[in-house]
A and B are shown apart, each in its own frame.
Chain A
């Protein structure tokens, strides 16, 4: 598992993928937070990082599928998966190694945004007048969200040899789990308590809840279950040659 993890990390940074992902994320975030007038923190007159936490999931929606699309699709296409699964490794070890590697890349992209926190911290009047607890919770929420997207992306990649199909499928599934349930819950057929349940299946509900700075066990359990569910689905999908 460790060997797979480091191979994947090396693959990200010896090709352009790693730098492009980090670069695109930071450029987009930088523009949204500091330059574009509609979202800019400087124009909002409030010392918050709300824009970051509102926009980062939208960017992840297409960036994370781009990171994960090759993980299994490429190995299936070139046949290297056959060598990998006949080594003394369990399918879980392979999937976990790749999952952690993709997640690490996303964390590398997120790390520089901590700088924004210190900037906004200094910009507050008086300095330090911002909701640190809320920001901490939001970061945790964003990490869980990214991990869930990575798990979904890996699953999509394990379904097909075609990287483009893997990307589109992952982007669709991520969007579906992120916002679709929230939107569906507004349908009139869900009334009374059912709309709450439908809403709670989606990621958005739990992400928003964490953004309030309250790390609720229910939300953590939700994210962990979603991640494990998709990793397990990936393992099952890898084993389908045995059917």
Chain B
């Protein structure tokens, strides 16, 4: 069990920034932290890294409580904060060697070289961090987070502000990391979660509103086909829910109904056959699809 968060609450003044958040992450898992801005993602991450204290609740990293055993817990966490703060006047290698020194790594130089190669910084290793473009700075941020080979990586919006090519490259690095490590990354880009995570937590106003594997979430998110239908005559809802593949029936008004089925089913032929069979007049028959974004919006409204 790499990260255990239980009943985490953080109160700022009167606002509950994080409200009863509980989850666990295993090694080999890449957990996506989704939510609109200000939902409590960053606050939760800052509590996991030990930067902020929780109002109540506990966080354990690699079995160490972040409050009771902070040194042990911090040693097994690699952290990339939200705006990727770096010492602009330091050189790439100098900075990474400094980080290695703090973690008291044996063979710092070799390890730094390895990280520079892995993050694709080889041609920039002798540059000052301040001279680097945003994408390369992000790589330095990743390199410092991964340098001491931590079990747990906390990445706060690792791809924000990058161009599409850089995003793909950074995601590739994160995916590779996720094979053996525990990775928690926050984002508000849904495609990112689909691309790199195998599990996602959607957080809204400090509360967890969904916690599932990507497959389940996807079927839950995009996994509905909705048909709106209006008949000329009165119909009983039992009649409609008895139709094949119909999962849910909702009354929208006088003789207007909304029928829900799984994504791969189109209910329109079934409904029109039903209407013909019962000699009903079809006034409206329209298929609506819910996009990933819409479900996300629904969950976080």
A88's partner among B81, B87, B90, B103 (CB-CB below 8 A) is B103
Chain B residues within 8 Å of A11, by CB: 87, 89-90
Q: Whose C-beta in chain A lies nearest to the C-beta of B97?
A: A3
B14 at the interface (CB under 8 A from A): no
A217 at the interface (CB under 8 A from B): no
Bound form: Cα–Cα A4–B102 in Å: 7
Q: Whose C-beta in chain A lies nearest to the C-beta of B94?
A: A10
CB distance A6 to B81 under 8 Å? no
Q: Whose C-beta in chain B lies nearest to the C-beta of A80?
A: B85
Given known contacts A78-B85, A80-B85, A86 and B74 CB-to-CB distance under 8 angstroms: yes
Chain A residues within 8 Å of B85, by CB: 78-80, 82-83
B265 at the interface (CB under 8 A from A): no
B133 to chain A, nearest CB (A): 18
B88 at the interface (CB under 8 A from A): yes
Bound form: Cα–Cα A243–B103 in Å: 27
A58 at the interface (CB under 8 A from B): no
A-B contact number at CB 8 A: 59
Bound form: Cα–Cα A100–B88 in Å: 23
Chain B residues within 8 Å of A15, by CB: 89
Chain A residues within 8 Å of B86, by CB: 78, 80
Given known contacts A79-B83, A82-B51, A87 and B89 CB-to-CB distance under 8 angstroms: no
Bound form: Cα–Cα A209–B77 in Å: 51
Contact size class for A?
A: 20 to 34
A218 at the interface (CB under 8 A from B): no
CB distance A87 to B52 under 8 Å? no
Given known contacts A3-B98, A3-B102, A82-B81, A87 and B74 CB-to-CB distance under 8 angstroms: yes
Chain A residues within 8 Å of B72, by CB: 88
Chain A residues within 8 Å of B53, by CB: 242
B3 to chain A, nearest CB (A): 15
A59 at the interface (CB under 8 A from B): no
CB distance B71 to A90 under 8 Å? yes
B224 at the interface (CB under 8 A from A): no
B8 to chain A, nearest CB (A): 15
CB distance B79 to A86 under 8 Å? yes
CB distance B102 to A87 under 8 Å? yes
CB distance A2 to B94 under 8 Å? no
Residues of A1-49 whose CB lies within 8 A of B? 2-4, 6-7, 10-11, 14-15
Given known contacts A82-B81, A88-B74, A241 and B98 CB-to-CB distance under 8 angstroms: no
B144 at the interface (CB under 8 A from A): yes
Bound form: Cα–Cα A2–B101 in Å: 8
The 10 closest A-B pairs by CB, nearest first: A3-B101, A79-B85, A88-B75, A80-B85, A88-B74, A86-B49, A3-B102, A242-B53, A88-B71, A7-B98
Given contacts A3-B101, A241-B51, 13 further A-B contacts (CB under 8 A): A3-B98, A4-B102, A6-B98, A10-B90, A11-B89, A79-B85, A80-B85, A80-B87, A86-B50, A86-B74, A87-B102, A88-B71, A241-B52
Q: Residues of B at under 8 Å CB distance from A?
A: 46, 49-53, 70-72, 74-75, 77, 79, 81, 83, 85-90, 94, 98-99, 101-103, 144
6 examples of A-B residue contacts, CB within 8 angstroms: A2-B101, A78-B86, A86-B77, A88-B72, A88-B75, A241-B51
